[in-house]
A and B are shown apart, each in its own frame.
Chain A
């Protein structure tokens, strides 16, 4: 049996365990043990700001995705089967288009001469094109678009398991629909909320393509810090330290969440 797993395991060990171990080593070793890379990460302004910005953006994206995703999952859950399949298909449809294609689409929609600006000018709502892209706004819009399915699917899966009887029981005891929703349905859907939020937040922390293409160089997320340190500045130690801090943040989040819900539930959706 171990012989059967060994090819897959070897690939994983060689191409993810070893590289990540190498990064960790490189972040603390350069002609001897050193913490200078970590000191930079925690004291230099640009690093600190980038980490803060990444967490802020991830938090914003998670909250927006929850606000947008919850109603969709709820509706899909209450409608007859045919409709809910249609809604869920529409939700996963963008899932199967390349992230790069979607970044391109948002550039087309949001740029100064883009579709949305043209439309607003045609309606004479604006006279000057709005700056919708090459900033944090564009990054957030496109990132939410990419991560929304990761929110809707666990929400829907959890809601489906909530027995309808409980809602009817609430209603029969005299509660209004909104009261049963707040007191019965909402609390029971919280594991799904937690699973969806974890996935979206964690994926967003490491996002690279959308901030790079839609952020316009001003929205420097941690992933860009890593790539710039490698590609532009040849600062391998610094890049490694940033990568290690990012990875530890992700693992810490998974660890904390795993105390409340099973990780299979979070990862199974991807």
Chain B
């Protein structure tokens, strides 16, 4: 097969165009966020930081940011231990029900998010959790769990449970042997799972649209409502910051994973 065959050229060109299509929208936001123009013009007439100032000076945006970060941190703190415990149990137990439980823990990925959102809204309305912080955190824990479970299960696949047996035969109890032997070996999968849960909580929009309100509205909900009304460049500034933050987290997670393998 010669490298310059016409089919090959078509392949290169198509792929390049598809990659541009994938990347361009993500990149276009950055120059717009530094634009000085009130309305959208491209390329921007001159650069300024006014939209970033607008964002940091606006109490509503700041409050939403604070809600988002609080929710994301609490989500990780709750979802990670729960997910690790569940993944450990699934991988170690020979009970047949564990397969069903494993599938159940992946349900948040299977059920269309709009259905989950409306369902949670109905349940929350009954128990008074709509527009509350605990309600928001709990929903994000549920949505983040599958990421932790999948990541930790993958990590446990390369772990030899016999090592834990050795530790226990030397007198450690199950809990201590887990923390001393198992956890250090799967810690990068745990970290990756936690980071995915964090990103998922930061990005979550649809459930928040239904169940959040008042002072407990995350950034994404305020962005969504703002986007329905007008294309405000402040959102470009927020988007740029959000994108930068999640890229840094992903790079951090994959660097850790690579270091470990």
Interface size on B (CB < 8 Å)?
83
A129 CB within 8 Å of chain B: no
Is the CB–CB distance between B25 and A98 below 8 Å? no
Query: In which size bucket is the chain A interface?
Result: 35 or more
Is A8 in contact with B83, judged by CB distance below 8 angstroms? Answer: yes
B29 and A108 form a contact (CB under 8 A):
yes
Q: Provided the pairs A75-B15, A209-B224, A230-B118 are in contact, do residues A8 and B231 lie with their beta carbons within 8 angstroms?
A: no
When the two chains form their complex, are residues B23 and A93 in contact, meaning their CB atoms are under 8 A apart?
A: yes
Q: Are B243 and A104 in contact (CB under 8 A)?
A: no
Q: Is the CB of A213 within 8 A of B118?
A: no
Residues of B within 8 A of A48 (CB): none
Choose one: B18, B29, B142; the contact of A105 (CB below 8 Å): B29
Interface string of A143-178 (1 = CB under 8 A from B): 001001100000000000000000000010000011
CB distance from B233 to the nearest CB of A (A): 9
> Is A257 at the interface (CB under 8 A from chain B)?
no
Please tell me if the beta carbons of A1 and B25 are within 8 angstroms of each other in the complex. Answer: no
Are A4 and B89 also in contact (CB < 8 A) when A23-B122, A90-B19 are? yes
Q: Does A226 contact B (CB under 8 A)?
A: yes
CB distance B25 to A102 under 8 Å? yes
Q: How far is the CA of A213 from the CA of B7 in the complex (A)?
A: 38
Task: Report B2-20 residues with CB < 8 Å from chain A CB.
Answer: 5, 7, 11-12, 14-15, 18-19
Taking a contact as CB atoms closer than 8 A, the residue among A148, A247, A268 that contacts B111 in the complex is A247
In the complex, the answer to whether B110 meets A250 with C-beta atoms within 8 Å is yes
Chain A residues touching B, majority SS? helix
Which residues of B (39-69) have their CB < 8 Å from a CB of A? 39-42
Residues of B within 8 A of A100 (CB): 203, 205, 220, 223-224, 227, 239
Instruction: Please report the C-alpha to C-alpha distance between residue A212 and residue B86 in the assembled complex, in whole angstroms.
Output: 36
- The residue on B at minimum CB distance from A222 is B114
Render A92-112 as a binary contact track against B, CB cut-off 8 A, 1 for contact. 011011111111111111010
In the complex, what residues of A have CB within 8 A of residue B95's CB?
1-2
- Is B119 positioned at the interface, with any CB of A under 8 Å from its CB? yes
B110-126 CB mask vs A (1 if < 8 Å, else 0) is 11111110111111000
By a CB distance below 8 angstroms, the chain B residues around A5 are: 85-86, 89-90, 98, 101, 105
Looking at the assembled complex, report how far the CB atom of B165 sits from the nearest CB atom of chain A, in whole angstroms.
Answer: 15
Q: Are the C-beta atoms of A106 and B86 separated by less than 8 Å?
A: no
Check A11–B41 contact: CB distance below 8 A.
no
Could you tell me if B42 and A213 are in contact, using CB atoms closer than 8 angstroms?
A: no
Complex Cα distance, B111 from A267, in Å, reads 12
| A to B CB contacts below 8 Å, 29 in the list | A1-B95, A5-B89, A8-B145, A9-B105, A12-B105, A12-B107, A14-B123, A14-B138, A16-B120, A20-B116, A69-B18, A71-B11, A72-B14, A75-B15, A87-B19, A90-B23, A96-B247, A98-B243, A100-B224, A104-B239, A118-B41, A177-B7, A206-B114, A208-B113, A209-B205, A223-B112, A239-B118, A250-B110, A251-B110
Question: Assuming A19-B119, A250-B111, what are 13 further A-B pairs, CB within 8 angstroms?
Answer: A12-B107, A71-B18, A93-B23, A96-B243, A97-B242, A99-B205, A100-B220, A104-B236, A107-B227, A108-B40, A109-B28, A227-B210, A267-B110
